[in-house]
Amino acid sequence: MMNEFEMLDMGLLYYFLGLEVHQSEDEIFLSQRKYARDLLIKFGLLNCKPAATLMNIGEKLQLNDGAEMDNARSFRSLVGGLIYLTHTRSDITFSVSVISRLCGFTDSDYAGSLDDRQSILAHVLTLGLGVVTWSSKKQATTTSSTSEIEYIASTLAACQAIWLRKMLAELQNKQRKCNRYIL
């Protein structure tokens, strides 16, 4: 590759994007120990006591539970960091998934393409703070009303959400409840 591209051989990989890499002849070990420690330091949690269980499994969270959030931006940043940490710490996946629910958004533009007057459909599905899947495309069939294209867009987004739920269920991350305004 060095003959084709301008590059340097910097030796074995030790640290990349928060992943520590330990290599030997017969194995590669990935860790996020430094990343986890930096996350604890960033949010002032380094000296907290460890717990045997991450959270109460029967805990039911509410959007408006009467408690006011001190810093929503800091909370979202912490959740994003925890989501990234689940790459090597699968034991925290359930707890992180509880605080970062799956949401979906859909929209359509009736006869939005100026070239052929086809409608344009779009949807975005998120898990926590990250986009998991999205689509934006021209509708293959002609529709006769904005209501019809909205139904088609919603149906396609719902099919994608169902597929994603099944995929998450296979990974032991089943969604239990759905907000009626969100797919």
pLDDT tens readout for residues 89-105: 878 877 777 776 677 77
Residue 176 has pLDDT above 60, yes or no: no
CA angle 59, 164, 133 (to 5 degrees): 110
Q: Please tell me the total number of residues recorded for the chain in this structure.
A: 183
Most confident among 101-105, 162-166, 178-182 (mean pLDDT): 162-166
How far apart CA 167 and CA 57 sit, in angstroms, is 21
What are 85's two structure tokens? 């940490």
Most confident among 41-45, 93-97, 105-109, 171-175 (mean pLDDT): 41-45
pLDDT tens readout for residues 55-80: 777 766 666 666 666 676 787 788 88
How far apart CA 6 and CA 69 sit, in angstroms, is 50
pLDDT of residue 173: 60
Residue 125 has pLDDT above 50, yes or no: yes
Burial of 79 (0-12, 13-18, 19+ CB in 10 A): middle
Amino acid at site 152? I
Rg of the chain over all Cα atoms, to the nearest angstrom: 22
CA angle 133, 100, 66 (to 5 degrees): 140
Q: Are 21 and 28 in contact (CB under 8 A)?
A: yes
pLDDT of residue 180: 45
Q: Where are the domains of the chain?
A: 15-50+69-99, 102-170
